[in-house]
Amino acid sequence: MNGSASNRPARAGLALGAALVSAMLCTPATAAGPEEAGKGPGAAATTPAHAERACPVVYFDLGETLVHTADDGSTTYLPGAASYLRNLRGRHIRVGLITNVPPSWGTTDAERAARLRTEVDATWRGPVPFAWADFGDRIRTPRTEAERKPSPVLWQRAKDDSAGCRVVYQAETAQEVSVASSLGFLSYQVGRPNRPVFLPAGLVELLGRRPG
């Protein structure tokens, strides 16, 4: 993704995230290590759906935020991504995806998400499959070309579907972080130097206990 613009909403969202990390002394995301075994598209989520926390909901971009596509077309987790998802799952925190796919992939989010899974799985070369079960029905994709990010439509839909919960968004580009911040997400740009790769899971857990 090529977005690199940064403006006041983006700086405010990032500053808030950094301040909360420092002030609350939360546990950082688990360091990258051997990715979890047996977690993938065919595996059931470790935590039953009824045990998930109601709030917050943590949404991610997919490409170059959680997964990387190499020059040969193969796809793998980015370093630390699988262990971070495992950490959130262990805290019973709901996660979702906000990602661009061709609208022609289906007439509903569920249909487009199923095609996305097929496409990713077909090129997957990681030691374990991508943990699709963690995301449930929380995969938001564009219904038309006009809805593609950075249009705010997908973030607004995700927020509307989150039942008033505080919503978090994590992505690799400042532009997407800026748009999410402007819509009320606590947004965090992943992979920046001298910061945790992802927003620390302990902080995310605390956010669910604070008013939105």
The model's pLDDT over 153-179, given as tens digits with 9 standing for 90+, comes to: 999 999 999 989 999 999 999 999 999
Q: At residue 40, does pLDDT exceed 50?
A: no
Comparing 58-72, 102-116, 198-212, the range with the smallest average pLDDT is: 198-212
CB atoms within 10 A of CB 84: 30
Rounded Cα gap, residues 108 and 180, in angstroms: 22
Q: At residue 7, does pLDDT exceed 70?
A: no
Say which residue the tokens 């405010």 belong to: 12
* Confidence class for position 42, pLDDT limits 50, 70, 90: very low
> 5-14, 36-45, 203-212 — which one is most confidently predicted on average?
203-212
CA 13, distance to chain mean position in Å, is: 16
* Confidence class for position 211, pLDDT limits 50, 70, 90: low
Eight-state DSSP code of residue 114: H
Average model confidence (pLDDT) for the chain? 82
In three state form, how does the secondary structure of 138-201 look?
CEECCCCHHHCCCCCHHHHHHHHCCCCCCEEEEECCHHHHHHHHHCCCEEEECCCCCCCCCCCH
The pLDDT value given to residue 169: 98
What digits encode the pLDDT tens for the residues 66-90?
A: 999 999 999 999 999 999 999 999 9
The pLDDT value given to residue 54: 74
* Confidence class for position 115, pLDDT limits 50, 70, 90: very high
Mean pLDDT of 132-160: 98
Residue 138's alpha-carbon distances to 96, 97, 110, in angstroms, are: 5, 6, 9
